[in-house]
Amino acid sequence: MTRTYNLPPISFSYNSIRQIFHISASGESVRIKFTNIYGTSDLQILSANIADSVSQGSGEIDLNTLIPLTFQGKESLIIPPGEEIYSDTFTYNLKALSEVAISIYFGNMPEEITGHSHSQTCAFLEKGNKINNKQFSKDIRVTHWYVLSTIEVSSIPRKNAVICFGDSITDGHGSTNDIQGRWTDYFAEKLNSNKETSEVAVVNEGIRGNQLTVHGLERYNKDVLSIKGATYIIVLFGVNDINSLNRTADEITIAYKKLIKKAHRNNMFIFGGTILPYGKNTPWTKERENVRKEVNNWIKKY
């Protein structure tokens, strides 16, 4: 989404950003998708690189691991409005459960910038071209991700992935910044600790405020079914449908059935998570609680 509150505190034009991302599974062949899907004009990247993050929340990188990114062999890139473009594929020793930093020096930027708000991970901004600096200043920080939508990793042998599809609970709302404490992060740790599942990557497709019967159905094809290497889907949706839209249990379960049918058509396993209690939140009512229980009973019996 792009809204006024998604905009950075300083202009991105001819300035730099360093963004930190948590890697769930190891790999060697990497490419990164840059997005201007909601932009209103061209987005210009003058240069970009990737490196290992030294420590959580520090903005510091290991310069020995730094690799410049290229786009069809060039270091600069212009992304037209409404489009997404991959970097060239490069070799990089990505380690499971590690953090990487992607630094970008921008040129001209659109007024509307594609971003993911409340990333629970600090990004660091600097004036001018500072992307090759070991340390970014902590003076200007935001808990947003901008213009990056995917870190795509491949390896030999091919690894499976599980997609966690949901709303703010999956997105990480309420978790402490910079410690990678979303439930999906703990899930990745659990998978990694088990020999039989250690090569399964976790893809977080949670967006806060999303409703299953609206956003979930709208973005399912693009954000779930189109992801390469994904075999499993975990769906954790529904509380916003009950609270914000007053959906009935039948309306919610019909939406679930649509996701299930498409998953099976794509030879994917799909698991439903029950809707969590929210009695201390408003606007909780007894009627809405009955809807939650009815949906959960359906999930457990289906």
- Looking at residue 257, which CATH number applies to its domain? 3.40.50.1110
276 and 235 in a single domain? The answer is: yes
pLDDT at 228: 87
Task: Kindly give the parts of the chain with pLDDT less than 70.
Answer: 1-5, 156-157
Which of 153, 172, 187 finishes a domain? 153
pLDDT over 90 percentage in the chain: 88
Chosen domain end from 125, 153, 181: 153
Same domain as 176, residue 115: no
- Shared-domain flag, residues 183 and 286: yes
Say whether both 294 and 166 belong to one domain.
yes
* 140 in the same domain as 176: no
Is 9 in the same domain as 144? yes
Same domain, residue pair 242 and 144: no
Q: How many domains does the chain have?
A: 2
pLDDT attached to residue 281: 77
Does 142 share its domain with 202?
no
Beta strands in 53-200 (DSSP E): 67-68, 77-79, 84-86, 90-94, 99-106, 115-117, 123-127, 141-142, 144-146, 148-154, 161-166
pLDDT for the residue 1: 43
Q: Does 165 lie in the same domain as 70?
A: no
Q: pTM of the full predicted structure?
A: 0.93
Domain final residue, candidates 137, 153, 169: 153
Peptide bond into 68 cis (omega under 30): no
Q: Are strands 230-236 and 123-127 parallel, antiparallel or unpaired?
A: unpaired
Please tell me whether residues 291 and 179 are part of one structural domain: yes
- 215 and 256 part of one domain: yes
pLDDT reported for residue 199: 87
- Is there a single domain that holds both residue 42 and residue 98? yes
Per-residue confidence (pLDDT) for residue 5, from 0 to 100: 52
Query: pLDDT for 150-174, tens place per residue?
Result: 999 987 667 799 999 999 999 999 9
The domain of 97 spans 4-153
